[in-house]
Amino acid sequence: MTVIKGLQPGRELKFILNPLTFSLIGDFKIPTKWQNALQLLPQGTVLSDAQLNHLLNKYVPKLGEQQVTRIREAAAIAFYHQQTDCPVVQTLCCDDAPQFKLITAERALCWVHEGRHYKKLSPVFACHQVILGQFIEDFWDYYRELLAYKDAPSPEAAQPLKAKFRLLFETPSGYELLDERKQLTATKAFELLRVLEHPELPLHNNPAELATRTMVQRRNISYATQTIEGTRAWDTFMSLVATTRQLGISFFDYVRDRISQLGVIRSLSTIIRSKFSLHPLGLSWQLD
């Protein structure tokens, strides 16, 4: 729910029961009898959090806590995809955590997170250590080939990369634990190779994770704020710090410009739009 809310900034979560909701509920393995009961609730009506809870308590009071959570998630996802206030994101670049699944039509998995699985392997035998070391080198060599592909994408260049992916992750190595891990990676081929279809996608989500590190460090030092106003002020200024850093603007200069009302630095939204126009984000979807 936090992810869905993050995709609709500044707006309260809304819910709706429609065909997409019931398709997701089926994916969540909600029993058929509860699915039939939910058909009796208002269909196609936008509901607030309180309204949905009231309907669920009234018409399906015997639902388990996890089932209620899955239904709420399905209804929230369905509303997100039919609303028009915010652009609907087609693809999330994320790790393989379950909370990111089904929110968008597609996912692009993070290669850095995938590589960490192999760093956790601790072979005892020297021969296995050599095999793992060589595989990790091959893993990152392949990653660099994907980076190069992003600079010069083409269908002709994509086919050899797909074949090389299969060779890298489906060829037995003789180290059983490594081969088991490789098989798990092979099942994620579509998500890890999403960049071959949409080269504007990043290969990892480290920038998003690094953006939250400052907040986490600050929280570890001072623990928390004492009032809601303090939390809002904290969030606002930490967001400004991260945004100005991404835009290459001195946060000190930005705050001084706003306090002094000089107006030398343009609004951050204007700068973001200007920088956005320089990148062909979404171009490959338009070509489809």
Note whether residue 286 is domain-resident. no
280, 200 contact by CB (below 8 A):
yes
The β-bridge partners of 47 are 15
Average pLDDT in the chain: 89
pLDDT at 64: 87
Q: Which of 196, 216, 249 is the last residue of a domain?
A: 196
**Two tokens at 180?**
């088991």
Note whether residue 148 is domain-resident. yes
The answer to which of 100-104, 171-175, 184-188 has the lowest mean pLDDT is: 100-104
The more confident residue out of 128 and 98 is 128
Note whether residue 123 is domain-resident. yes
Backbone angles phi, psi at 94, to 5 degrees: -155, 175
Note whether residue 82 is domain-resident. yes
118, 132 contact by CB (below 8 A):
yes
Note whether residue 282 is domain-resident. no
Q: Which of 36, 59, 88 is the last residue of a domain?
A: 88
C-alpha pair distances (Å), 123 with each of 126, 127, 132, 184, 200 = 8, 9, 8, 18, 37
The alpha carbon dihedral of 188, 190, 194, 195 has a sign of positive
Residues 6+ apart with CB under 8 A from 150: 195, 199, 200, 203
Note whether residue 281 is domain-resident. no
Per-residue model confidence as pLDDT tens digits over 173-187? 999 999 999 999 999
Instruction: Give yes or no for residue 278 having a pLDDT over 60.
Output: yes
Instruction: Give yes or no for residue 286 having a pLDDT over 90.
Output: no
Note whether residue 99 is domain-resident. no
Q: Note whether 13 and 45 are same-domain residues.
A: yes
Q: Report the candidate in 6, 13, 10 with the shortest Cα–Cα distance to residue 212.
A: 6
Per-residue model confidence as pLDDT tens digits over 204-235? 987 776 767 777 777 777 777 888 888 888 88
Note whether residue 248 is domain-resident. yes
13: containing domain = 2-88
Per-residue model confidence as pLDDT tens digits over 19-60? 999 999 988 888 888 889 898 899 999 999 999 999 998 888
In angstroms, the CA 241 to CA 137 distance is 36
Q: Which of 88, 120, 136 is the last residue of a domain?
A: 88
Instruction: Give yes or no for residue 191 having a pLDDT over 90.
Output: yes
How many structural domains is the chain composed of? 3
pLDDT at 140: 97
Number of other residues whose CB lies within 10 A of the CB of residue 111: 22
Per-residue model confidence as pLDDT tens digits over 242-262? 889 889 999 999 999 999 998
78, 20 contact by CB (below 8 A):
yes
pLDDT at 288: 56
In angstroms, the CA 42 to CA 275 distance is 44
**Two tokens at 48?**
């607030």
Number of other residues whose CB lies within 10 A of the CB of residue 248: 8
Q: Note whether 267 and 189 are same-domain residues.
A: no
